[in-house]
Structure 1
């Protein structure tokens, strides 16, 4: 059929059947290939522009897909930088506006008054739905990109990346818990995570908060102050000389020990905890992540709660002295909101520190399980708002893509957990640090790697 005889461009205006069929075709073409309706039935200049933009978007999408299949770390790196995310937001905003223009122009080309009366409402409704779906998706994508850019800038620092040491990246994870019963913040959850830089194989080392006589390596400013271990000779500057008190003492009493901490995206107390964790485990630690446990409940609420298996009834306290029980979290599978999840992690009544460590690990794993693409995208605004208040880290933004790819490998492998507790013949109040370092080394560097 010649173009001159095409019922799309030159329809029989008197035939409602032809005009109705044509209307459905134009709406479908506008949805499947934006710009094609204008090329076939309207302003060809606008149509060619729309088609070119559509083909360019398809090319970008295919390129991203190929990159995700073969070079995922590169893709993650590209899309985890502030500049790239702002470019993505601008591009998506452009397409949102373009698709509105093309859809409204398609509705003009349809000539509803010439279609069958019974079809007019359906054609108009489909056109509006198509515009809302296509343009709305692009607009929401632009919003997510700008929000993500702000989130990444607020959480991750701008700085050089650290190389792996002996093929490993080692992270210090601190769960900070401030309260009216204590001066400042004390990390109640302390974990070192060692990840193989190639395979993603991970080992987690749980450090009890009540470890005593914590050593410090040569070169640490705390080693000069406590050469025989933290508080082992004449006590310390805070009320209890335990591992988690190191943060409080340095942060509140002697922050001048670590003058460069803040400029490097850290805090004096965090750097003191890093020195302590390195001496305890024998592992150099490149990065830290501090999670505010009180703010953690906001993140859990943003995720829609977490599901955990409660081994036995756990109390929720009526006050910050942890002595009066207000209610109980019953044993069994429970879906917990942020308030109940936080109490499940920090409850003390009738339980030991080691029980709390296990519950905290349960909550951390449950939160990670909730971070699936559908959940994150549907609640991105709430998650980003909560996350920027909850997490502090010195991981550079430029390394984020690499670590996201490495984390995907870690997730597919079994994780080795080591608790520095009596279950491994370690008494935190009288620890054998030489034995601890041997235990850690054998787990992080198993014989087949040596």
Structure 2
């Protein structure tokens, strides 16, 4: 008769675990637990098994960080402006970046210390390798995420520093911010000397409702704002060149602008104020060649291409065409959609440029901006020069988000409404005032633009030189484009 196994012993056919094996498993589980504790509650492993003073410092720091995070989230949910202010405050961003880097170093130290507290030399070789692998994955994942976050914060801060201008903060004029957008020719040492396009974005300071007022580059015999430097030089109006030549004239006479870093832009602002009667708050110069990089960073823009748009021209050969249809264009194609003048005219091009502005305002989502943030920041900082101080960035971002859900109105001071060679300035200012009043819901609606029967298309824009282009005078750009 075979011997009977003693109670509690393993069957001879099953695996046999010695007391040493069981102790090894316990040590391994303890080592893994210490690492998981460090992942969930940094410092808890030290409180349980190591330097309690370091552990309590880490735990209190962790609790404080969570408290700051929750307070910021709750405050941001109640007061949205707080989030934007923090996002564009260079001091706060520097503090956040340093904090993320310090957190990465400190957390990595706690992971290494937790591995040490797990007594790796007492583990079997297989358990030791597993502990090293788990600790390495956890440590490098956390540190990489924190350092990447610090990198993005650094990119945002450098973007703000590169973009911000040295202009003085100005309040709204009659409840609106008027920003002059200048599209400059690109080229070594010359982009922006003769602006290709000039548009005033008049933005309601409360709602973000925007009216785009465009001025033709070939306007002549116009006045400057009274009391300005240029008005003293041309009291009877500018007869030395076209409107886009004001910048060049000022650049050749910089002694008249001793305190200005951008005499050409300052002179152009004085011209725009004299023509429209609006007080300009800020200006932004856009490098049209760099614009394509920004569009690519956003993943392209969808536009209604109504006719084949030539690629090239402007003194060079036409190398191809953008085909008609509702198409998602990349940066190169979008640039030529906005710039092409072959088989077209300046006023058709102005209409297409407004359609590009409208499309980008409504199609670019915050999610896209976040996911492609680094590329967008790099493209933007290389594309735009402005006098808007960084303290105003958060305000205009909030207004842009409000404007996304609203119509964009346009007014272009072009033929047949305005004779660009001898503009009627009283008529110009009346049209500007009427367009703004109507956008704000005040006064009577301006005269409706001429209807374009059978969707007459010239140069890729609805309308013609004789009848005017729909996108150049529209209450809603979506319907005109």
Q: TM-score, normalised by structure 2?
A: 0.78
Alignment counterpart, residue 58 of structure 1, candidates 58, 66, 89: 66
Is the 1:173–1:289 Cα contact (8 Å) retained in structure 2?
Answer: yes
2:225 aligned with 1:217: yes
Is the 2:222–2:275 Cα contact (8 Å) retained in structure 1?
Answer: yes
Is the 2:182–2:199 Cα contact (8 Å) retained in structure 1?
Answer: yes
> Tell me, what secondary structure is at the counterpart of 2:231?
helix
- Unpaired segments of 5 or more residues in structure 1? 1-11
Is the 1:158–1:398 Cα contact (8 Å) retained in structure 2?
Answer: no
RMSD: 3.1
2:435 aligned with 1:435: no
Following superposition, the deviation at residue 159 of structure 1 comes to 5.4
Is the 2:193–2:264 Cα contact (8 Å) retained in structure 1?
Answer: no
Within 1, Cα distance between the matches of 2:36 and 2:308? 58
- Unpaired segments of 5 or more residues in structure 2? 1-19, 444-481
Following superposition, the deviation at residue 316 of structure 1 comes to 1.0
Is the 1:74–1:402 Cα contact (8 Å) retained in structure 2?
Answer: no
Match of 2:242 in 1: 242
> Tell me, what secondary structure is at the counterpart of 2:94?
helix
Alignment counterpart, residue 113 of structure 2, candidates 105, 109, 117: 105
Match of 1:444 in 2: 436
Change (3 A) 1:207 1:114: farther
Alignment counterpart, residue 315 of structure 2, candidates 311, 321, 340: 321
Following superposition, the deviation at residue 176 of structure 1 comes to 0.7
Alignment counterpart, residue 268 of structure 2, candidates 255, 260, 273: 273
Following superposition, the deviation at residue 282 of structure 1 comes to 1.4
Deviates more, 1:134-143 or 1:36-45: 36-45
Following superposition, the deviation at residue 387 of structure 1 comes to 2.5
Match of 2:254 in 1: 255
Q: TM-score, normalised by structure 1?
A: 0.83
Larger Rg: 2
2:392 aligned with 1:399: yes
Following superposition, the deviation at residue 129 of structure 1 comes to 3.3
Is the 2:311–2:318 Cα contact (8 Å) retained in structure 1?
Answer: yes
Within 1, Cα distance between the matches of 2:140 and 2:421? 63
2:89 aligned with 1:81: yes
2:303 aligned with 1:308: yes
Within 1, Cα distance between the matches of 2:129 and 2:353? 56
Within 1, Cα distance between the matches of 2:44 and 2:308? 63
Alignment counterpart, residue 344 of structure 1, candidates 317, 337, 342: 337
Within 1, Cα distance between the matches of 2:125 and 2:326? 57
Change (3 A) 1:138 1:279: same
Structure with the larger RCO, 1 or 2 (CA within 8 Å, 6+ apart): 1
Following superposition, the deviation at residue 201 of structure 1 comes to 2.0
> Tell me, what secondary structure is at the counterpart of 1:244?
helix
Within 2, Cα distance between the matches of 1:146 and 1:294? 26
Is the 1:183–1:248 Cα contact (8 Å) retained in structure 2?
Answer: no
Change (3 A) 1:49 1:313: same
Give the aligned length.
422
Following superposition, the deviation at residue 300 of structure 1 comes to 3.3
Is the 1:177–1:187 Cα contact (8 Å) retained in structure 2?
Answer: yes
Change (3 A) 1:17 1:390: same
Change (3 A) 1:179 1:48: closer
> Tell me, what secondary structure is at the counterpart of 2:198?
strand
Following superposition, the deviation at residue 394 of structure 1 comes to 1.0
Change (3 A) 1:169 1:113: same
Match of 1:283 in 2: 278
